[in-house]
Amino acid sequence: MRRNSTDKKNLTIFFIVIGIVVYVSISDIFYLLPPLFGVAYVLTQEKYESGDFGAFYFLVPFFIFFEASKGLPFLSTILFMAFSFKVILPKFRKFFGYSRILTPLFILYGYFGYFAFLNFFGAIFDYNVPEFSWILGFYALIEIILVWLFLWII
C-alpha cells in the first residue's frame, strides 16, 4: 500500500515547527540569536497565499508559544497576521506583484510592522508593550541574510 504524499508534507512541517520551537527557546537564553519571527511570518504568508491552510495547525500554536516565551500580548501575532493578510498584503501584491525578491522586505515588515501593531494594540487597550530596541534591526538583518542564502541554495 502506498503512503499518501500529504502525510510526508505534514511530517516535514511538523519537524520544522518543532525545530523552530526549540530554536526560539534557545534564543531566549542567548540574547543575540534572532527569534526567526520574520522567517515565520514569510512562511505563514506563503502558506496563506498558496491556500495550504493545513500548515496553520502547526503555525498557530508556534505563534502562541512565541508570544508566551517573549511576554507579548495573547493572540497579538495572530491578529497581526490576519490584519496583514487581509488588508496590507492584497494592496502590496496589486502594486508590486509576486516576486520572491521582495522576501527581505516582508521580513522587515514582519518585525517592524508587528512592533507598530503592538504599539497600536497597546494604545487601544491601554496595555504596556515592550520598548523598541535596535536589536530588532540586527535580528532582521541576520534573517534577511539567512533567507537570501537559502533562496539561492534552494
pLDDT of residue 142: 86
**Per-residue confidence at 85, pLDDT binned at 50, 70, 90?**
very high
pLDDT at position 32 is: 65
* C-alpha–C-alpha distance, residues 117 and 77, integer Å: 9
> Residue 1 has what pLDDT?
54
Rounded CA separation 126/25 (Å): 29
Mean pLDDT of the 67-85 span: 89
Distance (Å, whole) CA 7 – CA 71: 34
- The predicted pLDDT at position 14 comes to 79
Give the Cα separation of 69 and 141 in Å (integer). 22
Number of residues that this document lists for the chain: 154
Mean pLDDT of the chain: 82
The predicted structure's pLDDT at residue 2 = 60
The string of pLDDT tens digits covering residues 6-54 is 567 777 777 877 877 787 778 777 766 677 788 888 888 888 888 888 8
Of 154, 149, 145, 76, the residue nearest 107 (C-alpha) = 145
| C-beta neighbour count of 130 within 10 angstroms | 13
pTM of the model: 0.77
- Backbone φ and ψ for 4, nearest 5 degrees, come out as -75, 135
- For the stretch 119-144, pLDDT in tens is 998 888 888 887 778 888 888 888 88
In this predicted structure, what is the pLDDT of residue 19? Answer: 78
Q: What residues have CB less than 8 Å from 88, skipping those under 6 apart?
A: 109, 113
**Joined grid coordinates for residue 104:** 527581505
* Domain spans in the chain, listed from the N-terminal domain onward: 5-153
pLDDT at 83 over 90: yes
Q: What's the mean pLDDT in 77-91?
A: 92
